[in-house]
Amino acid sequence: LAGSAAAFAPAPMAKTSSAMNAFTAADLPGALAPMGFFDPLGFAEKADEKTLKRYREAEVTHGRVAMLAVLGFLVGEAVEGSSFLFDAQISGPAITHFTQVPGGWDAIIVAFIGSAEAQRAQIGWVAPADASYDQPGLLRDDYYPGDIGFDPLGLRPEDPEELDLMITKELQNGRLAMLAAAGFLAQEAVDGKGIIEHFSS
């Protein structure tokens, strides 16, 4: 269970880590053999430090959302018809669940997501009024991508090498989850069957 929870722990960096001192493609955690640092289109080599930080922020955030999405697909479909929520009326493939949420609840869900995103932006981003017009989405200099300070289980290691290893694990799990979530979406869109239904048939 702790290993699963570690996947959702933030990806902060200790101030003593080499990756925090110089944010370059060569120093980024997340590269594993045999692929190493996988960048076939050369985005990282063309990017300056600020752009590279934005790329990593996007990768970490999308990975975290995808991990939650995969879990949501499986749990949402596994409990359909037996959940106390919404009188157990939500059913079918997970891609149809949001449209079945009763009116008013969708606004609450969107407001919750907006609140979480606003909090994340306040932690990591330079205020638009303080940034140049040609640098939209500028991250703070002292902000490490993904480090929003959320670690309720205290999983963040103090040792920089262990921290880099945990960040690499989170990135790899997020990358796999992004592929899995895309596959789940495509499969359910093609035949209208839920993922759990595919497993049981």
Token couple for 45: 């080599």
Helix, strand, coil % over all residues of the chain, rounded to 5: 60, 0, 40
More confident of the two residues 199 and 145: 145
Whether residue 66 has pLDDT greater than 90: yes
pTM of the model as a whole: 0.82
Whether residue 81 has pLDDT greater than 80: no
Return the biggest CA–CA distance within the chain.
56
DSSP string, 47-98: --HHHHHHHHHHHHHHHHHHHHHHHHHHHHHHSTTT-SGGGG---S-GGGHH
Mean pLDDT of 41-66: 91
Work out the mean pLDDT of the chain and round it to a whole number: 84
Do 156 and 2 form a contact (C-beta atoms < 8 A)?
A: no
Say whether 17 sits in a helix, a strand or coil: coil
Whether residue 8 has pLDDT greater than 50: no
Confidence class of residue 188 from pLDDT cuts 50, 70 and 90?
Answer: very high
